Each structure stands twice: as structure tokens, then as C-alpha cells.
Amino acid sequence: MLQSLPQMAPAVVPPLPIVPHFEPAASIDEQARLDQLVTEMIVEQPNLVADERLSAVCWQSEKIGPALHLDDFSAIRTPPDMATDYLQDRARLRARDGDFLVTADPPEDAFQDYFNQQLGLGSPTWLCPGLRESSLAVSCWANRSLRRRLVAAIRRVDRHDRGWAAGECS
């Protein structure tokens, strides 16, 4: 019976319209209200003030440069026969051109093509640590060459932010 059905040409599906990445920005009034709320919270809970010894490692300002996208689900308890590595691929939805994306395994070519060509989400640098440590983040740091690449990218952003020419300082 199936053989008697006419053959139909496959439908051509146009690329899906994708909304540009959202760029959050607080208005002047919203920033003032946030400042007021923070002040009130510190008065009520003085232990919220960061220890001065940590100021050297605290985030101070947003720098222009690539982002590192890493979705680590190693702390989620699952049955022993259930894999969670596929959940790491969700980070691909946030990654832009020039960003770094870390997953345990390299992506399939078709997966990359779909995100790049069909969804138009750009081409991040995909990194795979190749190690299976306690977590994806630990595996990323334990892989020396991957760690060096990330540190070099951070230093490039830091030089750009300070107005240094690329390669001027090491």
C-alpha cells in the first residue's frame, strides 16, 4: 500500500528568524533604585559587605571581549546509566562569534552547521578538554593546552581594555 503513494518533494524550510541576543541595560532611574536598595540591604545585613581581602579577585567592570560558555551539570544526581553530557550543548545557544564554548565532547558537524547556517548564531571557538575529571570545569583547567588558550584570550582582552597593542606585553 505504501508503494502506491505518490512521491512528494521534500519541503524547503526557510531559516528560522532568530531574535538578536538581548543586551540588558538599566535606565538611570533603575540604577538609582538599585543603589538605594543595596544601601538599605547593607544597613540591614552588614555581613553582605565583601571582605576587603577579596577585592583583588572580585569582578570590577565588564571588559570587551569573548565570553566563556560552560554548562557543567556534573553535580546533578542521575541514574548511573543516564548521560547528561548532551545538556552541555545548551551553552551553544548563548555563544557568539569569537566566544569560547566548552563541552566534554566535540560537536557533530551537522550540529555546528545547523547553528551556524540555519539559526545564524555565529561561530564560537569550540573547546573540548578531552579529560573526564570530577567536573567539566575541572577538566577544562586540568588540560594544560586548553588552559593556556583561555589564559591567553583573557590577557588579550586585558591588553585591549588597557589600550595596549596586541603582542606588546607578555
Least confident range from 15-29, 40-54, 106-120, 153-167: namely 153-167
pLDDT of residue 37: 93
Is pLDDT at 7 greater than 90 in this prediction? no
- In 63-129, the DSSP E strands lie at 68-70, 100-102, 125-127
More confident residue, 121 or 9: 121
pLDDT band at 167 (very low <50, low <70, confident <90, very high): very low
Query: Can you tell me the mean pLDDT for 83-101?
Result: 82
What is the model's pTM?
0.54
Is pLDDT at 5 greater than 50 in this prediction? no
* Whole-number Å distance between alpha carbons of 120 and 18: 8
Positive or negative, the CA dihedral 136, 137, 139, 144 is positive
In percent, how much of the chain has pLDDT > 70?
Answer: 71
Instruction: Give the position of cell 588597557.
Output: 162
pLDDT of residue 41: 92
Q: Is 73 exposed, middle or buried (0-12, 13-18, 19+ CB in 10 A)?
A: middle
pLDDT band at 33 (very low <50, low <70, confident <90, very high): very high
